[in-house]
Chains A and B, each alone.
Chain A
Amino acid sequence: MLAVTTADLSLTGWTIAVGAVANVACALLGCYLVLRRMSLMGDAISHAVLPGIALAFLLSGQVHGWPIILGAMLVGVLTSFLTQSVNQLGKVPEDASMGVVFVSLFAFGVILISTSPTARAADLDVDCVLMGRIEFVPLDVEEWFGWTVPRALGVMVPALLATLVFILVLWKELKVVAFDPALATAMGINAALVHYALMAMVAGVTVVSFETVGSILVVAMLVVPAATAHLLTDRLAPMLLLAAGVAVFASVFGAGLGLVWNINVAGMMAVGAGLAFVLAVFFAPQHGVLGKLIRNARLGLRIQCEDVIARLYRMAELHEEADRAETVKHRLGALWSASGGLLGWLAVYRLKQKGEIVAAPSGGIELTEAGRRRAESIVRAHRLWEAYLEKDLELPPDHLHEPAERMEHYIGPDLQSELESRLGQPGVDPHGRSIPPAPPSKPNVLSRDKGER
């Protein structure tokens, strides 16, 4: 099974090429569907075009070619139109109306095909439309300028080119309609026209891809690469490129493993795209689950660090005259329990590393000069916020500490000096403790001016 010959290689190569071309065309259009939250329109259209194909076949007698593509495009637009009509006229929720429309059209198509003897004779069977037969694509070849290439490439390459031209020509329109249809209308773009043009393109590419890769792979390629790309970037052009990249990867993955293991290639391509999606879900830098977890953990650690040094500062403040180190050592047990296990330990370790705390000669820990400066800023933020809550929101004194304990980590020097000047340089917080002054290195007048400008 693993004895790969050159013939196998070129077979694999052509399968990959045909798959990649079909997948990229679908993935590019899919980006606009995903952005408009209409991914399922791809699913709906790819099922609903069946009667279009069947009718065009019955009228023209051809299995391939323009009549089929036109028939499919018409029914694709019709699907979208009917969905909106049912949604608006019948006040049926959009997803339900889409379901009713595409299932009905599909059922109609199945009946058309299965009752027509000519359709059955022409091998227009439903299983083929559903699953495609990409494995056989390299076997059905034709001559191109002296090259022997699969016939499917002669259909898929123009389809991809048409998709590229469509996107480049209507770049601005598609973009505005995808992100803000109301703005598009205000800009004089006919949003409905752009919408139906997109639907027609989706239907056209869908039906062209059907005979090579099958409808289920088309649905996968319309949704999954675009959704993957959307997890990786916030910009449209990179999103299109990434989606195309995922589509190519899926094609290589599916054709490679599918042919080596002798299993369904189209299905493997869908699985490949799914794999890329799952990876993106976990590892995408900005929007991935792991990235979010790490950011949350970082934030948690920062807050913990700040809580530790703020606490040290307060203890030192309470016992300014007493032996500072002795007190800190005495209270260390309380500090540990309050800091919370591992995260507290990590915070102390990190603070030591950054040189904000050091081991005190007496055995406890104490703030260094750098730590003291940072702690001052946090305590300043805390007490200013308490003062603000008391004065402007008129909260009772016993309701001040909790919100301030949370807010203190998010109030920077600019906001601090703004609060201070708004409160009229209070000097002490509502509990009578003094508010540390702003650090002299950054004169607060200057930073406030900046803030206001």
Chain B
Amino acid sequence: MFGLPYNTVVVLFGASLLGGSVGLVGCFAILRGRALTGDALAHAALPGVCLGFLIAGERHLGIMLGGAFLVGLLGINCIAGLRRWTRVKEDAAIGFVLSVFFGAGVVLNSVIQRLPGTGSKAGLDSFYLGKAAGMSADDVYHIAAMALVLLLLVALLYKEFKLVTFDSAFAQVQGMSALALDLLLMAQIALAVVIGLPIVGVVMMAGLLIIPGVAARFWTERLGAMLLLSLLFGFLMGLVGSGISSEVAIPTGPIIILTGTAIFGGSLLAAPRRGLVSRILAQRRFQRDLDRRKLLRVLFDLSEPRLPGRAELALADLLQRRSWQPARLRRLLDEARAAGQVAIADGRYALTAGGLQRAAEVARGYRLWELFLHEYPDMALAADLTSESVEPVLPAAIVADLHAKLKLAGRWPRG
């Protein structure tokens, strides 16, 4: 297929399908603040796998995965129970389940390896680091079946999951059982972990659950979009990671994770709005906007006494009013001149007619805010003070009151 060896196609297909479906359920874990529960689950599954092997007496995949699923759920219930009934905090509860269950798994594994004949065939070693490259067509069928189940569940119960994720109290009021939905979510994660474990291994499994969702969160505020993106990122991690690994001889699991790390890093930097670069740019833009407003306000304050005449101001006057850096002030003045708001004659600055109008507007907004903070101090924390003036932010009644009071005080700027 596509001119690639059959094995490579199987691995590419399986890894990307796995990445996509695990990324999908990982989203919910992250949104519910349970990112590391998946990690605990992946560790807790090991003794289940071993028990399954001991019970079946051979490498029977169904029984081993069933054991992993059940013990994984037991681990999750341990975490929940410890949190509810004792003073043990969630982090320590997760740490307990993760390490003690895994320790028990290591012990059982050593028991299995001691068994005559069958021990070495258990192939349990792959559970530590995974063996993505050795994926068989059967594995891919399992992954596909799991992916289908997960997709169907998420599609059918989308509304319920959404509600229980963002407002579980409200979901309960609506008659949904938050507990049942929570368990279902955890069961989904357990299913994904159990299927993925032999392929990518314990530690990488945690990465596969966490990274796509966290990366997707940078790009959107909507759950639906986040789920789709997370699915896509997980898919890409599997595809690109296993692709690289088939070209260069390095282990598949880790390179899948590093692909994810790259996607995460890219999202962290480049995502619009929530990304680091755009947040820094927005911060800069806001700062410059604030500076411009500040300059106009100072110019207006200094010009106001001589209105309707024209005030010509020296640089020193302006410098005195505010702690500007002289160079910065000059740059701001140049910008204002370019915008036609300020005129220069003989090294003295004056507002143009258009500039005066705009400056009066800015000064009015500022004075209204000042008045607001003075008159309604208890509302100050709730208001968005970054807005230029009060009108778009505050209730109409308060705005009218502030207007009236400012006019009464004779401080209403006239441009």
Contacts and interface: CB of A to CB of B under 8 A. Distances in A.
Contacts of A42: 95
Given A110-B251, A114-B250, A267 B105 contact: yes
A421 B249 CA distance: 86
A274 B104 contact: yes
Interface string B280-324: 000000000000000000000000000000000000000000000
A37 B93 CA distance: 10
Contacts of B207: 99-100, 103-104, 107
B257 interface: yes
B241 to A, nearest CB: 10
A interface majority secondary structure? helix
Interface stretch (A85-93, A189-197, A297-305, A382-390): A85-93
Interface string A397-440: 00000000000000000000000000000000000000000000
B56 interface: no
9 contacts: A39-B95, A86-B268, A98-B35, A104-B261, A110-B251, A114-B251, A115-B249, A220-B99, A270-B102
A103 B206 contact: yes
B210 A100 contact: yes
Interface stretch (A69-77, A222-230, A346-354, A358-366): A222-230
A398 B204 CA distance: 63
Interface string A10-53: 00000000000000000000000010011110110001000000
Nearest to B264: A100
A313 interface: no
Interface of B: 30, 33-36, 39, 82, 85-89, 91-96, 98-100, 102-107, 109-111, 114, 125, 128-129, 203-204, 206-207, 210-211, 213-214, 217-218, 249-251, 253-255, 257-258, 260-261, 264, 268, 274, 276
B214 A230 contact: no
A163 B141 CA distance: 51
Contacts of A230: 87-88, 92
Contact of A216 (B39, B102, B258): B102
Interface stretch (A125-133, A138-146, A329-337): A125-133
A154 B207 CA distance: 36
Contacts of A127: 125, 128-129
A99 B39 contact: yes
Contact of A231 (B88, B257, B258): B88
A230 B88 CA distance: 8
A91 B207 CA distance: 18
A217 interface: yes
Contact of A266 (B30, B103, B211, B249): B103
Contact of A274 (B92, B100, B213): B100
Contact of A103 (B107, B211, B250, B268): B211
Contacts of A110: 129, 251, 253-254
Interface of A: 34, 37-40, 42-43, 47, 86, 89-93, 95-100, 103-104, 106-108, 110-111, 114-115, 126-127, 130-131, 216-217, 219-220, 222-224, 226-227, 230-231, 258, 262-264, 266-271, 273-274, 277, 281, 287-289, 292
Contacts, number: 191
B107 A104 contact: no
A99 B114 contact: no
Contact of B30 (A96, A104, A267): A96
**Which are the 9 A-B pairs with shortest beta-carbon distances?**
A270-B103, A274-B100, A223-B95, A267-B106, A103-B207, A220-B99, A107-B254, A264-B110, A267-B107
A90 B260 CA distance: 16
A263 B258 contact: no
Contacts of B111: 263
Nearest to B89: A37
B84 to A, nearest CB: 10
Nearest to A97: B214
Given A39-B91, A92-B217, A230-B87, A216 B255 contact: no
Given A98-B36, A99-B206, A270 B87 contact: no
B99 A99 contact: no
- The winner among A42, A98, A110, A273 for most chain B CB atoms within 10 A is A110
B110 A267 contact: yes
Contact of A93 (B35, B99, B104, B218): B35
Contact of A39 (B82, B92, B204, B258): B92
A107 B103 contact: no
B276 A89 contact: yes
Nearest to B110: A264
B92 A34 contact: yes
A348 B245 CA distance: 76
A216 B103 CA distance: 7
A116 B30 CA distance: 35
B114 A262 contact: yes
Contact of A268 (B33, B87, B103, B255): B103
Contacts of A264: 106-107, 109-110
B276 A217 contact: no
Nearest to A293: B85
B204 A40 contact: no
Contacts of B260: 104
Given A47-B203, A103-B211, A263 B94 contact: no
